[in-house]
Amino acid sequence: MACPAAGASNKLWAGRIQAETNQLVDAFNGSLAVDARLYRQDIEGSMAHAAMLAAQGIISPADADAIVAGLEGILRDIEAGALSLTANAEDIHMFVEEVLTERIGEPGRRLHTARSRNDQVALDMRLYVKNETIALEALAQGFLNVLLDLAQNHLHTVMPGYTHLQRAQPITLAHHLMAYAEMLRRDIARLRDGRARLDECPLGAGALAATTYNIDRHATAEALGFARPAPNSLDAVSDRDYCLELLSTLSIMMMHLSRLAEETITWCSWECHFAEMDDAFATGSSIMPQKKNPDVAELVRGKTGRVYGSLVTLLTTMKALPLAYNKDMQEDKPPVFDAIDTAKQCLEVFAPMVASLQFKPETMRQAAAHGFLNATDCADYLVKKGLPFRDAYKIVGQLVHQCIAAGLTLETLSLDAFQEASPLFAEDVYEALKLETCVQNRNVPGGPAPEAVQAHINALRGSSG
């Protein structure tokens, strides 16, 4: 073998490239600072690959045993803090291989047989994303359980329901919270759906065109916990749909958290005062001693834009990339890692904050008692006595106008005034207009009646896990 030219690079990919790489290029090209968190996935993938190579007779069992033992030692040392990941390596793959070769010698050089960094990084990312979706699902389920518990405790807590930020119809706090429970249920389903689609092992795809070695891709897929090998080698190394799906799911989930954060902020304001923030989850002001600020909810609301940015970043990176692997795809990791970290942090802190909210049932009911939230129920009262809805709607609208002019509510309007508007009104109208009656009468699937909400809570508890 000819000796490398003087000053040639000693990098693992040296050969065709003879000159020493410019230091600026090294710094620009390297990714170890970002992909170091993939060390476990990289090592596990390498152990499965080595075992398969030996089983297929491509390397000797002795070499495979040395490789696996060496990799196990590297994993132990990294996790014990005895091996630093700040070494001068281009990426986590080269770092592991360089350390392995330093430790076990010639067998370490055989590990990369029938493999490329392209299928290696694709494997690492799939393993990482797969594991993180499980962790995210557990956190989302924990938050969902918080909402279910709160709803269970507030089945009869009447509050205003809103449209256009205007008081609309009476509902219960339980019914309101269960709307967010449904959002989280869908988020969890999306995490599970995405995990099912990414469950394909890219190892064995090589750089783009697989390999001439007699490898067993089913064996490595099974060893690494995948359902099957990826069916096309070009797609296997260039696919990042599973990352985009996760970022999309996290963006939707963060939107849901942001909506609840906004409502929490409103509820805890003095203008609304439906709830009070627990001191453990509030902050103060450096100048105004009376302040109790909902910083956790505001940060959740603010960090939502950060996760959106990660999705747009990766969509833009992948746009117009020709097959197969391109170095642009090294930029998949920062947005994916950041979005995962951000979403997990938000779920971890926001769930206990919401659980600690001290709700004010009397204030909520008082708010529901004003604004003619029972106007629709008043119209329904006439409809049930035979009047067409549009006629009933007009009569009640006129009664509301009359009440506003006189400073009254429908509950305080005299029976004479009711009967002047329509002879169908009788004494039982006052029972029909009670907020509790208005809520209870909406006992249909998905409605705010306590019985309907209880059924909803039971259904979600039964479907969790």
Catalytic site includes residue 238:
no
| Domain parsing of the chain, residue ranges | 23-115, 118-153+171-209+222-359, 369-463
Catalytic site includes residue 285:
yes
Work out the burial of residue 386: count CB atoms within 10 Å of its CB; fewer than 13 is exposed, 13-18 middle, 19 or more buried: exposed
What CATH number belongs to 118-153+171-209+222-359? 1.20.200.10
60, 84, 269, 285: the catalytic one is 285
Work out the burial of residue 277: count CB atoms within 10 Å of its CB; fewer than 13 is exposed, 13-18 middle, 19 or more buried: buried
Give one DSSP letter per residue of 64-83, joined into a string: HHHHHHHHHHHHHHHHHT-S
Within 319-407, where are the H helices? 333-355, 361-368, 375-383, 389-406
What CATH number belongs to 369-463? 1.10.40.30
> Rounded to an integer, what distance in angstroms lies between the CA atom of residue 459 and that of residue 181?
11
The DSSP letter of residue 13 is T
Please tell me whether the peptide bond between 324 and the residue prior to it is cis, using omega within 30 degrees of 0: yes
- To 5 degrees, how large is the angle CA 141–CA 246–CA 355? 25
Contacts made by residues 310-314, CB under 8 angstroms, sequence distance 24+: 310/247, 310/250, 310/251, 310/335, 310/336, 310/338, 310/339, 310/342, 311/244, 311/247, 311/248, 311/250, 311/251, 311/335, 311/339, 314/240, 314/243, 314/244, 314/247
> Rounded to an integer, what distance in angstroms lies between the CA atom of residue 185 and that of residue 459?
11
Residues 23-115: name the CATH superfamily. Answer: Fumarase/aspartase (N-terminal domain) (1.10.275.10)
Is the fold of 23-115 the same as that of 118-153+171-209+222-359? Answer: no
pLDDT in tens, the chain (465 residues): 333 333 345 565 566 666 677 888 877 877 899 999 999 999 999 999 999 999 999 999 999 999 999 999 999 999 999 999 976 789 999 999 999 999 999 999 999 999 999 999 999 999 999 999 999 999 999 999 999 999 999 999 999 999 999 999 999 999 999 999 999 999 999 999 999 999 999 999 999 999 999 999 999 999 999 999 999 999 999 999 999 999 999 999 999 999 999 999 999 999 999 999 999 999 888 898 888 999 999 999 999 999 999 999 999 999 999 999 999 999 999 999 999 999 999 999 999 999 999 999 999 999 998 889 999 999 999 999 999 999 999 999 999 999 999 999 999 999 999 999 999 999 999 999 999 999 999 999 999 999 999 999 999 998 865
